[in-house]
Amino acid sequence: MTSKPPAQRVSSNRDRQLQTGMTLIELVIAVAITAIIGLISAQLLGAMIQNSQQITDHASELERLDRGLRIIQSDFDQLVVRGENSLLTAEDSSVPGLLIEFTRLHEQPLALHTTGPANSLNSDQLERVRYVLESNNLVRYSSPVGMPIDEDHWYQNTLFTRLSQARLYFLYEDWSEQLSDATNSAGSTPLGAIRFEAESDRWQHLELVSMLRTGADS
């Protein structure tokens, strides 16, 4: 029986040790690469989820913006002037932050096609609306009567938040009169439209112009 020389046996042991050491190094490298890939994948997944959430939030904000503008448009489109104190501005009221308070028609088919004078409308066809700027929020108050008797029957709905300012202008036939002149001119000059403007942190400048169905003659 032959045996390997001592030198060959030592060399064989060193080769096995070297082979074992390289395998461990490769395993460590593979684990490190896997960890790096996993970290990158987690970051990419987190960014995708964040972008998706931002898109969803943006779409929701756009929907709220559209809804708020539609409500304002509907209110102004159905505004009716029914004599003294029917339409109030900040100068006419003690309500803090009041922009405008007025009477509007309910969105009913019969009410929309009423051809008689405003004073002949039934109370159940009318709604009282009030727009107030409260802590940078535009709040719509409504009461299901033409002229509320007290302050306990108002429903509240916040339309816009984070407004730096909000303004209303009454536009007459020459489209130049401002809201501050509306009270003095309401009895003699027909209203043509109302322009709503607001400055928002999110949407910058908002503007809406609504043509009025009725004049301001009492």
pLDDT one-digit tens code per residue, 70-123:
999 999 888 887 666 778 888 878 888 999 998 888 765 443 444 444 444 554
In angstroms and rounded to an integer, the radius of gyration of the C-alpha atoms of the chain is 36
In whole angstroms, what is the distance from residue 72 CA to residue 53 CA? Answer: 29
Q: For the whole model, what pTM was predicted? A: 0.64
At position 94, the amino acid (one-letter code) is S
45, two tokens: 């997944």
- For residue 147, give every residue at least 6 positions away whose Cβ sits within 8 Å of its Cβ, in sequence order, or none: 85, 86, 103, 128
Length of the chain: 218
Per-residue pLDDT tens over the stretch 152-205 = 778 999 999 889 889 888 877 655 444 444 444 444 456 678 889 999 888 888
132, two tokens: 């107030």
Matching residue, tokens 């900040």? 90
Q: For residues 193 and 212, is the Cβ–Cβ distance under 8 A?
A: yes
Instruction: Compute CA distances 93 → 37, 58, 132, 133, 166, whole Å.
Output: 66, 37, 11, 14, 17
